[in-house]
C-alpha cells in the first residue's frame, strides 16, 4: 500500500518538530549574520541572497568578515569549501541510509543539508526504516531550518541598518554554544579528543595567517592527529 | 566586490560539499581510508571555528574575567557533557554569557 498523504505530512512535521531546539539556536546567529553582512559593506539584497543560495551559517559568517577585509572572491569561495568540507562527511553518512532515492530527491536534500539537520536525521533515522519516512522526515527538518534562517537573516539585516555596531552585542557567542552542543557529544574517545585539541591549538597559533587559512591548516592537522591517535587508542566505533 | 560572483562562488563551493557525495554514495561505498579521515572533519572544523572566537580578541589572547565567553563556554561544555541535550546547552550557555556580561 502506498503511503498516504497523511503519513508524509506526519513525517515532515516530525522532522520539523525534532529540529526545533536548533531553530532557536540559529536565531541569534542569523541576526548577527544579517547585521554583520550590512556592516561588511554587502548590500541588503546580497546579504539576504547569501542565506538563500549558500545556506551555511558558519561559512557565511566567515565570508562576511573576509568581505569586510577586501578578500578576493576566489579566496572566499575556497574558504567556503574548506569550512563546509564537513558536509561531505554528513552526506557520506546519510547516503547509504537513503539508498534507492532518485536524484530528483537527493539533490534538494543535499542542497539543504546543514549541521543541524544532519544531527536530527542521524538520530531520527534510527527509528525510521523506510525511504518514504526518511525522505519526508529529513525534508521537514531541512525546510524548517531554511525558512527559520531566512527570517532570522532578514531581521538581522533590518537591525543592522537601524543599530550601529551590532558586533558589540556579543551574539556571535550563540554560534559558540550551538557548536559546543554539537561538538561535545562527538568526543567519544581519545582520538576525537586529541583531534579537537590539536585543531583548536592550531587555529589559535595560526590566527594571523592570511585569508583565515589557519582554519584549513587546523582542520588538516586535527584530522591527521586523530588518525595518528587511532594507532595508539583504536576507535570505539567502526568507521 | 562583485556580489554576484561572490554568491555564485560560495553557492557552488557549498553545493560541491553537499550534493555530489550524497548522490554518488547512495549507490556505492566510500573507501575506508577516506571514511576514517572524514570522521574527524566535523569535530576538528567546529573546534577550529569557535576556539579563536572564545580565546582571542582582535588576534590577541583574551584570558580575563570580563571575557564572559570563557565561563559561559565551560558551563556549556559541562551541560552538554552531562546531558547531551542541545537545546539545554544553548539556553544555559547563552544565559550564563548574558548574566556574566551584565554583572561584570
3 state SS of B104: coil
Query: Per-residue pLDDT averaged across B25-48, rounded?
Result: 82
Kindly report the nearest CA distance between residue B63 and chain A, in angstroms. Answer: 13
pLDDT at B26: 78
Contact status of B51 with chain A (Cβ, < 8 Å)? yes
The CA–CA distances, whole Å, from B61 to A55, A58, A119, A204, A211 equal 31, 22, 32, 9, 20
Nearest CB among B27, B32, B41 relative to A219 is that of: B41
Kindly report the nearest CA distance between residue B77 and chain A, in angstroms. Answer: 6
Give pLDDT tens digits for A35-84: 889 888 899 999 999 999 999 988 998 898 788 878 889 989 988 988 88
Q: Return the axis-axis angle of helices B3-25 and A86-94, rounded to nearest 10°.
A: 30
CA distance B83 to B75: 12
All residues of chain B having their beta carbon less than 8 Å from the beta carbon of residue A63 are 6, 10
Q: Is pLDDT at A1 greater than 60 in this prediction? A: no
Which residue has better confidence, A73 or A165?
Answer: A73
pLDDT at A90: 84
Nearest CB among B14, B50, B91 relative to A180 is that of: B50
Kindly report the nearest CA distance between residue B64 and chain A, in angstroms. Answer: 16
Give pLDDT tens digits for A6-45: 899 999 999 999 999 889 888 888 888 898 898 888 999 9
Angle at A168 between CA A198 and CA A44, to 5 degrees: 95
Chain A to chain B, count of Cβ pairs less than 8 Å apart? 284
pLDDT at A211: 66
Nearest CB among B25, B43, B68 relative to A186 is that of: B43
Query: Per-residue pLDDT averaged across B21-31, rounded?
Result: 81
Contact call for B6 and A67, based on CB within 8 A: yes
Residues sharing a CB contact under 8 Å with residue A59, sequence separation 6 or more, in sequence order: A79, A80, A83, A84, B10, B14
Give pLDDT tens digits for B40-93: 888 898 899 899 989 998 888 999 988 999 999 999 999 999 998 888 998 899
All residues of chain B having their beta carbon less than 8 Å from the beta carbon of residue A197 are 47
Q: By mean pLDDT, which of A97-101, A201-205, B26-30, B67-71 is the weakest?
A: B26-30
Residue A146, C-alpha cell as written in the block: 531554511
Residues sharing a CB contact under 8 Å with residue A228, sequence separation 6 or more, in sequence order: none
Nearest CA in chain A to B49: A215
Contact call for B19 and A58, based on CB within 8 A: no
pLDDT at A65: 79
pLDDT at B87: 81
| DSSP notation for chain A | -PPPHHHHHHHHHHHHHHTHHHHHHHHHHHHHHHHHHHHTT--HHHHHHHHHHT--HHHHHHHHHHHHTT--HHHHHHHHHHHHTHHHHHHHHHGGGGTT--HHHHHHHHHT--HHHHHHHHHHGGG--SHHHHHHHHHHHHHHHHHHHHHHHHHHHHHHHHSS-GGGG-TTHHHHHHHHHHHGGG--SHHHHHHHHHHHHHHHHTTTSGGGTHHHHHHHHHHHHHHHHHHHS--SS--
All residues of chain A having their beta carbon less than 8 Å from the beta carbon of residue B15 are 110-111
Contact status of B75 with chain A (Cβ, < 8 Å)? no
Which residue has better confidence, A110 or B34?
Answer: A110
Residue A172's pLDDT band (cuts 50, 70, 90)? confident
Kindly report the nearest CA distance between residue A58 and chain B, in angstroms. Answer: 8
> Buried (b) or exposed (e) across B49-78, using 16+ Cβ within 10 A?
bbbbbbbbeeeeeeeeeebbbbebbebbbe
Using a pLDDT cut of 70, give the percent of chain A over it: 93
Using a pLDDT cut of 90, give the percent of chain A over it: 52
All residues of chain B having their beta carbon less than 8 Å from the beta carbon of residue A207 are 52, 56, 59
CA of residue A202 relative to chain centroid, distance: 21
CA distance A80 to A216: 10
Which residue has better confidence, A58 or B28?
Answer: A58
Q: What is the DSSP letter of B56?
A: E
pTM score, whole prediction: 0.76
pLDDT at A131: 94
Query: Chain-wide mean pLDDT for chain A?
Result: 89
Question: Is residue A15 a contact partner of residue A138, using CB atoms and an 8 Å limit?
Answer: yes
pLDDT at A93: 81
CA distance A219 to A53: 25
Q: By mean pLDDT, which of A156-170, A198-212, B64-78 is the weakest?
A: A156-170
Give pLDDT tens digits for A80-99: 988 888 788 788 889 988 99
CA of residue A191 relative to chain centroid, distance: 23
pLDDT at B96: 96
Sign of torsion over alpha carbons A181, A182, A185, A189: negative
pLDDT at B97: 94
All residues of chain B having their beta carbon less than 8 Å from the beta carbon of residue A24 are 87, 90-91
| Beta-strand runs (E) in chain B | 56-57, 60-61
Q: What is the DSSP letter of B85?
A: -
Amino acid at each position: 500500500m502506498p503511503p498516504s498523504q497523511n503519513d508524509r505530512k506526519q513525517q515532515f512535521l516530525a522532522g520539523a518538530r525534532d529540529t526545533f531546539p536548533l531553530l532557536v539556536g540559529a536565531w541569534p546567529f542569523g541576526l548577527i549574520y544579517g547585521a554583520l553582512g550590512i556592516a561588511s559593506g554587502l548590500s541588503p539584497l546580497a546579504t539576504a541572497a547569501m542565506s538563500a543560495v549558500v545556506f551555511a551559517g558558519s561559512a557565511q559568517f566567515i565570508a562576511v568578515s573576509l568581505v569586510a577585509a577586501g578578500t578576493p572572491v576566489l579566496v572566499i569561495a575556497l574558504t567556503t569549501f574548506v569550512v563546509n568540507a564537513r558536509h561531505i562527511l554528513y552526506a557520506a553518512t546519510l547516503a547509504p541510509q537513503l539508498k534507492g532515492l532518485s536524484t530528483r530527491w537527493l539533490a534538494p536534500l543535499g542542497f539543504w543539508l546543514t549541521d543541524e539537520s544532519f544531527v536530527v536525521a542521524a538520530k531520527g533515522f534510527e527509528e525510521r526504516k523506510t525511504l518514504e519516512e526518511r525522505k519526508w522526515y529529513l525534508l521537514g527538518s531541512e525546510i524548517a531550518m531554511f525558512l527559520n534562517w531566512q527570517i532570522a537573516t532578514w531581521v538581522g539585516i533590518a537591525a543592522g541598518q537601524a543599530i550601529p555596531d551590532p558586533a558589540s552585542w556579543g551574539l556571535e557567542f550563540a554560534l559558540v554554544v550551538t557548536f559546543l552542543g554539537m561538538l561535545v557529544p562527538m568526543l567519544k574517545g581519545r582520538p576525537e579528543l586529541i583531534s579537537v585539541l590539536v585543531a583548536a591549538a592550531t587555529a589559535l597559533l595560526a590566527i594571523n595567517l592570511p585569508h583565515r587559512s589557519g582554519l584549513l591548516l587546523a582542520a588538516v592537522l586535527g584530522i591527521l592527529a586523530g588518525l595518528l591517535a587511532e594507532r595508539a587508542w583504536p576507535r570505539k566505533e567502526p568507521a | 566586490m562583485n556580489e554576484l560572483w561572490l554568491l555564485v562562488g560560495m553557492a557552488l563551493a557549498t553545493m560541491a560539499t553537499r550534493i555530489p557525495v550524497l548522490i554518488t554514495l547512495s549507490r556505492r561505498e566510500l573507501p575506508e581510508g577516506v571514511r576514517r579521515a572524514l570522521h574527524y572533519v566535523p569535530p576538528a572544523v567546529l573546534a577550529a571555528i569557535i576556539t579563536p572566537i572564545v580565546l582571542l580578541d582582535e588576534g590577541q589572547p583574551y584570558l580575563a574575567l570580563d571575557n564572559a565567553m570563557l565561563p559561559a563556554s565551560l558551563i556549556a561544555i559541562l551541560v552538554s557533557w552531562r546531558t547531551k541535550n542541545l537545546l539545554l546547552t544553548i539556553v544555559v550557555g547563552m544565559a550564563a554569557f548574558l548574566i556574566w556580561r551584565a554583572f561584570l
